[in-house]
Structure 1
C-alpha cells in the first residue's frame, strides 16, 4: 500500500511540474523595450495574476519576426509597422494589437557641430549631419530603430551607406551598446526615448531634435499563428495579450517613468471598440 501511495504522489508531483513548465510563454521583444526597464515592472505582475512565466528573447525587430516565422517563440512585441503587417499578411501572425507608443529622438554632442537643433524636420536634421560629415552611429542591426533610421535617411534624400566606415558607422548592436559607441565617439545617433532616459552613460550627449511626427514609435503585440506552428501556446498568449491590454496592464505601462518622465503612452484598443 505504501508503495502504491508513493507512486501516486510521484505521478502527481511530475504532473504538477509538467503543468508548471507548460505555463511558460516565449516572447521575442525588441532591445529598446528591454532597455527601458518596463519588463521589470510588468513581468512580476503577470506572474502574480496569471501564474504565467514570460521568457523574453531580446533581439531587434527583424530578428524577432524571423523567430516568429520559425516558430521559435509564441509571440512578438515589436515596433516596425510595415514589417508587422507583412508578417500578419503572410500568415505568420494571427493579428497585430497595438499596446503602447513613445517616440524616437535624435541625440548628439552638446556642442551640436551639425546644427541639427534648429532643423525643421528629422529629414532636414539628417541632411545637416551628412553635409557636415559629422559622425553618426547607426544600429545597423535590422531592428525597428534601424528600419526607422533608414526611412528617415531616404526621406532626407541621402544614402549614408556610401560613407560607411567614414562619418557613418554601423554598430550592428542593440540600442544601449550603440549609445555607448556614440558617447565614445561624440557622434549623433537615433534612439528611442525610453532607452535614452534609462541610459546611464550620456557623457556629453543630449537630445538635440525631437517632436517630428515621423519619429512616432508604436509597439505592437503579435501572436504567432498556431496554424503555421501548432506547438505555440495560443491560449497562454491570448491570456498574456488580454492582460497587457487590460485596465491594469495599461495603467502600469502609463505609470512607468524615469526621473519623473513617462516612457510610454498606453494605447491598446479594447476588443470590439470602434474608438
Structure 2
C-alpha cells in the first residue's frame, strides 16, 4: 500500500513539474528591425534646372553624372544643352538655376552684370581643328591653319551659334585680322557641336571643335569621310569650363540651394576624380581634365 501511495505521489510530482516547465514561456526572439530607408539614401529634393553647352551633353558626361548627383544629393538634374551664349541668356532671364559653360570672358560679364553669384572652374579640355589631311599639313600652329583656310579658300564649317566654340573661333579670326566671310566656302551650321562635325564630314570641310565631342563623335558616329585632327596643342586652344549659380537676389524664386549643392558636388574630390576618368576606357583618353579649385 505504501508503495502504491509513493508511486502515485511521484507521478503527481512529475506532472506538476512538467506543467510548471510548460507554463514558462520561452523568451521571444526579437526580429531584426526592417529599415525602411538605407543609411546612405537621400531624400528626394526635387528638380534642379541647368543651362549648359552642347559638349557636356554630346560627350555623354551629363548622362553619366546625373544619377550620381541624384544619389548623393537628392536633386534631380535637368538641363538645356545650347551654345554658351544662349545658356548665359537663359541665366539672365531667370529660366535656370545654374549654368555650366565655357567662355570665361562672357561668364565674367554675366557675373559683373549681376546675373551670376560666383564662377568656379570645373574642368577643361582643348579645341582642335579637324578636317581632310590634305592640303593642310598637321601642325600645332592654329594661326597658320586659319590663315591657309582663308588664303586657299578651303571649306570650313562654323557653328555660328554664339557658343563657347563659336566665340573662340571668331576670336582667332579677329586676332589674325581675317574675315571668314571672304571665303566663299565658309558656312555656318547654326547647330551644336555634334551636328556641326557631321556637316563638316559631309562637306569634307574643316571645323573647330572641342576634343571631347570629337573623340565621342568619331568613335560613335558613322562618318563618311576620313576627317582627322589637323591642328592640336596650340596654347591658344585651351577650353575651360566654369559653373555659376544664377543670382538669387535677382530671381528669389530660383533653386539656389540646389545650385549651390551642385557646385559643391561637382567641385568635390570624389566627382573631380570621376570626371578625370571619364572616357578613358572607351576612348583611350579622358574627355575632360578636372581642375576645380584653380583660378582658371
Q: TM-score, normalised by structure 1?
A: 0.87
Shift of 1:162: 3.3
Structure 1: give runs of 5+ residues left out of the alignment.
1-18
Q: Which residue number corresponds to residue 143 of structure 2?
A: 123
Tell me the distance in 2 between the aligned counterparts of 1:201 and 1:145. 23
Q: Which residue number corresponds to residue 109 of structure 2?
A: 86
Q: Which residue number corresponds to residue 16 of structure 1?
A: none
Tell me the distance in 1 between the aligned counterparts of 2:287 and 2:132. 22
Shift of 1:201: 3.1
Q: Which residue number corresponds to residue 284 of structure 2?
A: 260
Q: Does 1:196 align with 2:214?
A: yes
Tell me the distance in 2 between the aligned counterparts of 1:268 and 1:227. 25
Shift of 1:116: 4.4
Structure number with greater CO (CA < 8 Å, separation at least 6) is 1
Q: Which residue number corresponds to residue 162 of structure 1?
A: 182
Shift of 1:32: 1.1
Kindly report which structure 2 residues correspond to 1:126-137, keeping only aligned pairs within 5 A, or say none: 126-137=146-157
Q: Which runs of 4+ in 1 moved over 3 A?
A: none
Q: Which residue number corresponds to residue 83 of structure 2?
A: 60
The superposition leaves residues 26-49 of structure 1 with CA deviations (integer Å, 9 ceiling, x where unpaired) of 000100111111112111100111
Q: Which residue number corresponds to residue 242 of structure 2?
A: 220
Tell me the distance in 2 between the aligned counterparts of 1:195 and 1:201. 14
Tell me the distance in 1 between the aligned counterparts of 2:226 and 2:173. 25
Match of 1:45 among 61, 65, 68: 68
The superposition leaves residues 97-116 of structure 1 with CA deviations (integer Å, 9 ceiling, x where unpaired) of 00000000000113x22x24
In structure 1, the residue corresponding to 2:52 is in which secondary structure?
strand
Tell me the distance in 1 between the aligned counterparts of 2:293 and 2:191. 33
How many equivalent residue pairs? 248
Tell me the distance in 1 between the aligned counterparts of 2:271 and 2:114. 27
The superposition leaves residues 197-226 of structure 1 with CA deviations (integer Å, 9 ceiling, x where unpaired) of 010234310001100011000000010000
In structure 2, the residue corresponding to 1:44 is in which secondary structure?
helix
Tell me the distance in 1 between the aligned counterparts of 2:101 and 2:71. 24
Tell me the distance in 2 between the aligned counterparts of 1:260 and 1:58. 25
Alignment RMSD, CA only?
Answer: 1.6
The superposition leaves residues 74-113 of structure 1 with CA deviations (integer Å, 9 ceiling, x where unpaired) of 0100000110000001110001000000000000113x22
Q: Which residue number corresponds to residue 183 of structure 1?
A: 201
Q: Which residue number corresponds to residue 5 of structure 1?
A: none
Tell me the distance in 2 between the aligned counterparts of 1:35 and 1:25. 20
Tell me the distance in 2 between the aligned counterparts of 1:156 and 1:103. 20
1:123–1:155: 8 Å Cα contact kept in structure 2?
Answer: no
When Rg is computed on C-alpha atoms for both structures, the one with the higher figure is 2
Structure 2: give runs of 5+ residues left out of the alignment.
1-42
Tell me the distance in 1 between the aligned counterparts of 2:89 and 2:284. 36
In structure 1, the residue corresponding to 2:292 is in which secondary structure?
coil
